[in-house]
Structure 1
Amino acid sequence: MTGLLFAAHGAQKILNFPAPPEWEVATFSMPWFAGMMELFGGALIVLGLFTRPVAFLLSGLMASAYFIAHAPQNFYPILSGR
């Protein structure tokens, strides 16, 4: 389930599916790299390949996303408006 959630968020950023994000994702930008990591990392977790290193990388991605995007707005991500 975790892998499917990661893949869905990556597909939204990279493939604009099922709905495009609220902002434009420029190629080789930080959200683009995050989307690629989510899309392919989620697929690897779903397939059960390289789960430990991929989970380690994706956990670091989520920690940095929290401190870059959510924490400056509000301590709780649900209240940050993103």
Structure 2
Amino acid sequence: MDQVFARWQPLALSLFRFITGLLLFQYGVAKIFKYPAVPYFAKVELFSLIGAAGALELILGAMLMLGLFTRPVAFILAGEMAFAYFLGHVFKADAPVWLPLLNNGTSAILFCFSCLYLATAGGGPISLDRAISRTR
């Protein structure tokens, strides 16, 4: 069974990278372009902390989908998500709430560690990183 699944690991890595980038990209689109209309992101200004996060998610999420500079992009996004968790979820309440289930920070933690994994694993075989390295 391990050999059957191990054969698909490189492709699964590329798919994981693409989906992670797509999910981050959608947050960027919602924050910057207000589409789809999400009430929480309706009043986000571009020159604010959430606006800057949206710009990062939009641009770097697209780069992650393409697999372009995967390792540094994923590392930056992991840091952004860690920052988002502590600033936007833990200290958002009157008193610090550390449990992600209570502070709605589960997605930030998942994105943080997903991107941290991608920073160490790379983009996989279906990525611009791989295409660029083959031409050298």
* Residue of structure 1 in register with 2:21 after alignment: 3
Runs of 4+ in 1 over 2 A off after TM superposition: none
Q: How does 1:18-33 map to 2 (within 5 A)?
A: 18-23=36-41, 24-33=43-52
Q: Work out the percentage of aligned pairs sharing the same amino acid.
A: 48
What is the CA distance between 1:26 and its match in structure 2?
Answer: 1.4
In structure 2, the CA distance between the partners of 1:54 and 1:25, relative to structure 1 (3 Å rule), is same
**Aligned with 2:33 (options 9, 15, 27):** 15
In structure 2, the CA distance between the partners of 1:43 and 1:15, relative to structure 1 (3 Å rule), is same
**What number of residue pairs does the alignment pair up?**
82
What is the CA distance between 1:81 and its match in structure 2?
Answer: 5.0
**Aligned with 1:42 (options 49, 55, 61):** 61
**Aligned with 1:75 (options 98, 103, 115):** 98
Name structure 1 gaps, 5 residues minimum.
none
- SS of the aligned residue for 2:38 comes to coil
Give the aligned residue type for 1:29: S
